[in-house]
Amino acid sequence: MGRKLEVGEVLSEVFSIYRANAGVLIPVAFWLFLVVAIVQGLAGNSSFLLLLGAVLSLVASVLYEGMVVSLVRDIQDGSRDLSVGELYRSVTPVLWPLIGASILFAIGVAIGFVLLVVPGLILLTMWAVIAPTIVIENRRVTESFGRSRELVKGHGWPVFGVVVCAALITIVVSLVLLTIAAAIADGPILRIVLGVLASTVTAPVTALAAAVLYYRLLQLKGDPGPAAPAGPPPAGPTDADSTDPGPTDADPPPAGPPPTGPIA
C-alpha cells in the first residue's frame, strides 16, 4: 500500500515555509490588502467605490495566492528566487485565468452550500488545488477544475482535513486580532490598519496549504507534474572536429610517385 497524505505533515510544512519566508509573505500581503482597505474605508455610500473595493479585494486575493504558489514552486525547484518583482511577473500571465477560476469556484461552492452544505464541502475538497494547476501547469480555467479533481481523487479525506484546519486557523486568528483591534483602536484609521494586519498574518496560510497540497499529491501519485523546459541543443561539430583528422605526427607522409627517368 502506498503512502497516505498526512494532514499533520502538510500543516507542518506550511508553517515551516511561512516562518522561513515571512520576510516576503507578510510585506506583500500588507501592501496589497492596505490598498483594498483604504478604498473600502473611503467607500461610504458610494456605489462606485463599494464596487471598486470588491473588485480590488478579488484581484488582490487572487494575485497574492498566485504569488505564494510561485514562491513554493521556486522552493521546490531549488531556485529560491524570492524577489517580489519576479514573483509578480510570474503570476501576471495567468492572472485572468486565476480570476475566472476563483469566480467559478466561489459560485460553485456557494451553490453547494445552499444545497444542504455537504455538496459544498465536497466541491471545496475536490477543487482544493485549482490555483497551483493554473500557475504551475498553465492550465486553462476549465481544465484546472478537472486537473484538481484528478489529483485529489483517492485522498479526499486528508485533503478535506487540511482545508478545514487551514480555514479554522485563519478564522480563529483573524477573530482574535480583530477583537484586539476593536478594543484598542481609537479611530477609523487605526482600525483599518489593525484589520489589514489581521488579513496579512492569516492570508499566507490557505495559499501555502494549497501549494503544499499540490506538490504532496503529485508525489503520492507519482505524477512528474509539468515538464521541465528543454535545454539547449547539443553543440554541432566545430572546425576542429572534422571527420578527417588529417595527418598527425604518428602518420608517415604519403610516398611520392616512383622515378620515371633513366637511371645513370
Q: Could you read off the pLDDT of 72-109 as tens digits, one per residue?
A: 999 998 876 668 888 999 999 999 999 999 999 999 99
Q: How many Cα atoms occupy the beta-carbon half-sphere of 87 within 13 Å?
A: 23
pTM check: above 0.85: no
Whole-number pLDDT of residue 228: 46
Q: Are 124 and 161 in contact (CB under 8 A)?
A: no
221 and 151 in contact (C-beta within 8 Å)? Answer: yes
Helix extents (H) in the chain: 7-20, 22-43, 47-77, 84-91, 95-114, 118-126, 130-137, 141-152, 156-184, 188-221
- Higher-confidence residue of 88 and 237: namely 88
pLDDT single digits (tens) 28-78: 999 999 999 999 888 878 889 889 999 999 999 999 999 999 999 999 988
Buried b (16+ CB within 10 A) or exposed e, 128-154: bbbbbbbbbeebebebbbebbbebbee
Q: Residue 38: phi, psi to the nearest 5?
A: -65, -45
DSSP 245: -
Q: Name the residue ranges covered by the structural domains of the chain.
A: 7-221
Rounded CA-CA distance 138/229 in Å is 13
